[in-house]
Structure 1
Amino acid sequence: MTTTAETGAALRLHDPNVRGFASDNYSGVHPEVLAALAAANGGHQVSYGEDDYTARLQELMVEHFGPGIECFPVFNGTGANVLSLQSLLPRWGAVVCASTAHINMDENGAPERIGGLKLLHVPTPDGKLTPELIDREAWGWGDEHRAQPLAVSITQTTELGTCYTPDEVRAIATHAHAKGMKLHMDGARLANAAAHLGVPLRAFTRDAGVDILSFGGTKNGLLFGEVVVALNPEAAHGLVYLRKMDMQLASKMRFMSAQFVALLEGDLWLRSASHANAMATRLRAAVDTIEGVRPTQKTESNGVFAILPPGVADRLRSSFRFYDWDEAAGEVRWMCSFDTTEEDVDSFAAAIRHELRDYRDGQAR
């Protein structure tokens, strides 16, 4: 048997034609990003961020967000969120967030275990906070028995696929700042929000009063990496030290930064996000015509949320992978990516229609 080591050929263990609707993390790397990684390879570059690619990334972030900002590439979204929140707060600080927030539901307690921060989470109908909802937990300043609510964290787009408008972000920022609180944005799908809103990235971030941003890349066609962007450096403290302490400092940072340079130097970030959104819109339009599917949220980014009758989701998953969102309610989540095709969507919609027809026929018997 000839091995890949003997032939020098790359080993492929999967079928690249198989796609699902489980997560935009499932997709591969955009070809333009892979090309950027290859171009960044070879020779020596100074490590730990003193390389040409990280310097260029800083320039590009200034182009998108304006002068006076600072950016810090990190390995992943959880690290970006923990690092961002730590920089905003003293050890006794607490963060108000939505109950559905990724920092509350999907980071295994990292903000509290690693960051040492208390999360004060608030139920929301659509994943979005409002000043009124924030006030449910924004109280107790000066009470030594209560963690002090000194920051607000919002996700753009939200974990339910909904999108904050610039005015909504601005209202939250104004309200938070008036109470002496700072505002963090988890921008894992930031590009999808900009594509939906049709505005520049800074319109609903820096210009709207966000103090610090976790800028997502992995869900938009990158191999790995996110960037912490201090939009208001005066509000964030010790990022250069916290990044190392939180094990988020890459030695070969050029390969993280080169991906974001490829994403931001042209319109790749917007093209990829716009395509993913368009595929979700196509899927939503299709399922809106299928009897038995009940969408639960607005489709404002690259995700569709819906309730299916009992047993239908499990049968669908024999052909298309996706996740339950609220298993008790029968609610599922379908995510599209930069490489989702119209054929993928149409095939999935046809499968949903077929399973629902079989379900209705079974109910009638």
Structure 2
Amino acid sequence: MVKATELTGTTTADPGNPTPTRLHNPASRGFASDNCAGVHSEILTALALSNGGHEASYGEDAYTKRLQGVMAHHFGPDTEAFPVFNGTGANVLSLQSMLPRWGAVICAATSHINIDENAAPERVGGIKLLTIDTPDGKLTPELIAQEAWGWGIEHRAQPLVVSITQSTERGTVYTPSEIQAIADFAHARGITLHMDGARLANAAAHLNVPLRAITRDVGVDVLSFGGTKNGIILGETIVLLTKEASAGLKYLRKMNMQLASKMRFVSAQIIALMEGDLWLRSAQQSNSMAKRLSEAVREIPGIKLTQEVQSNAVFATMPPAAASKARERVRFLDWNPVRGEVRWMCSFDTMPEDVDNLVAILQESVGSCQNEIHSVGEPAIVS
């Protein structure tokens, strides 16, 4: 693995020289997050084609209008797409539009809205989160029932939305029947269903089903659809699957600072991702590399998988000293330092040689820290 500091083909920035300079090594690869990957070349081509001339602003452009048809193709007629800047904005805005001020959201304790969005749902959205512990990041009707109560009690925030993540922050995937069961349970109690689909493409690729089969067809009301983790520069899309589930989204998007003036450049990226099969090809690539990685590390003594690998994430425990040593050569993140659990994320541009290089580094690092192999407790789940 080439270190990020070993830059080649770059020049020192000169304030008097406006020529752009490259400040990173384009050959570097890491496994910290799929957010760290670059932009797919097909997305860059689409952006270039959308540039030039003047187009109407704030979503009145030709690209945003075309996006409506593209998303309807994937999610069904009468859907409506609202491009926004980022995933946090998509989630907060979606949930805010689904709730009265006294409403609450039931979600997994590991959900992105709970642990990775600072206090945005609470401070910006004014939303109460009712969190539930899960072994694998997935909610079930039985788990949701722990917080689905108290309607009409003025002392309790009213549980009116369930939010699930597909694929989850633990890399696991809901099946269509699992989502349908949640939707049926929720709708029977007057609760609407939101899906954080930052990695929805990875879930669909794993299940080998159309996007609609794990969203609209199984009862999801509002979707935060992600593209940043699958090869675009920036921008996500809120997709209304049942319009009655959301109120005032048109106005809330502006109020929450998520209305892009030059929206055509967000929409053009999502069109390029979704109009053909780029979304699927990219997700299949990252998923397959995660599977390759999981199969290889399973054979390394001292490393134990802690979740079934169903998307582009691999979770495992390993000796902390070995993890620290490996991170001197390739970047990845701790998930639970107390348990010695780490996470490796694969991206659309992760190649077999990148995985093989990481495996070699891990083997060497674990081998040099044999005395710590038994110092880490057994994982909760071993697949």
Match of 1:72 among 56, 72, 82: 82
Match of 2:61 among 39, 45, 51: 51
Runs of 4+ in 1 over 4 A off after TM superposition: 1-8, 361-364
Q: Is the 8 A contact 1:21 1:320 kept in 2?
A: yes
Q: Is the 8 A contact 2:12 2:21 kept in 1?
A: no
Equivalences, count: 364
Relative to the length of structure 2, the TM-score reads 0.93
Superposition deviation, residue 5 in structure 1? 7.3
SS in 2 for 1:20: coil
* Residue number in structure 2 paired with 1:163: 173
Q: Are 1:129 and 2:124 an aligned pair?
A: no
Q: Quote the RMSD (CA, aligned, Å).
A: 1.5
Aligned residue identity for 1:280: A
Aligned ranges for residues 1-365 of structure 1 at < 5 Å?
9-360=19-370
Superposition deviation, residue 306 in structure 1? 0.3
Could you report, residue by residue, the CA deviation over 1:209-243 in whole angstroms, capped at 9, with x for unpaired residues?
Answer: 00000000000000000000000011111110000
Superposition deviation, residue 310 in structure 1? 2.8
Q: Aligned equivalents of 1:123 and 1:2: distance in 2?
A: 50
Identity %: 65
Aligned residue identity for 1:270: L
Superposition deviation, residue 2 in structure 1? 8.8
Provide closer, same or farther for how the CA distance between residues 352 and 2 of structure 1 changes in structure 2, counting only shifts above 3 A.
Answer: closer
Could you report, residue by residue, the CA deviation over 1:47-71 in whole angstroms, capped at 9, with x for unpaired residues?
Answer: 0000011011111001001111111
Superposition deviation, residue 7 in structure 1? 6.2
Provide closer, same or farther for how the CA distance between residues 136 and 362 of structure 1 changes in structure 2, counting only shifts above 3 A.
Answer: closer
Unaligned segments of structure 1, at least 5 residues: none
Q: Aligned equivalents of 1:18 and 1:286: distance in 2?
A: 21
Relative to the length of structure 1, the TM-score reads 0.97
Q: Aligned equivalents of 1:320 and 1:137: distance in 2?
A: 41
Q: Is the 8 A contact 1:4 1:10 kept in 2?
A: no
Could you report, residue by residue, the CA deviation over 1:90-132 in whole angstroms, capped at 9, with x for unpaired residues?
Answer: 0000000000000000101111111111000000000000000
Superposition deviation, residue 358 in structure 1? 1.2
Provide closer, same or farther for how the CA distance between residues 147 and 323 of structure 1 changes in structure 2, counting only shifts above 3 A.
Answer: same
Could you report, residue by residue, the CA deviation over 1:14-64 in whole angstroms, capped at 9, with x for unpaired residues?
Answer: 101111000000001100001111111000000000001101111100100
Unaligned segments of structure 2, at least 5 residues: 1-10, 375-383
Superposition deviation, residue 9 in structure 1? 3.6
SS in 2 for 1:139: coil
Could you report, residue by residue, the CA deviation over 1:191-219 in whole angstroms, capped at 9, with x for unpaired residues?
Answer: 00000000000001000000000000000
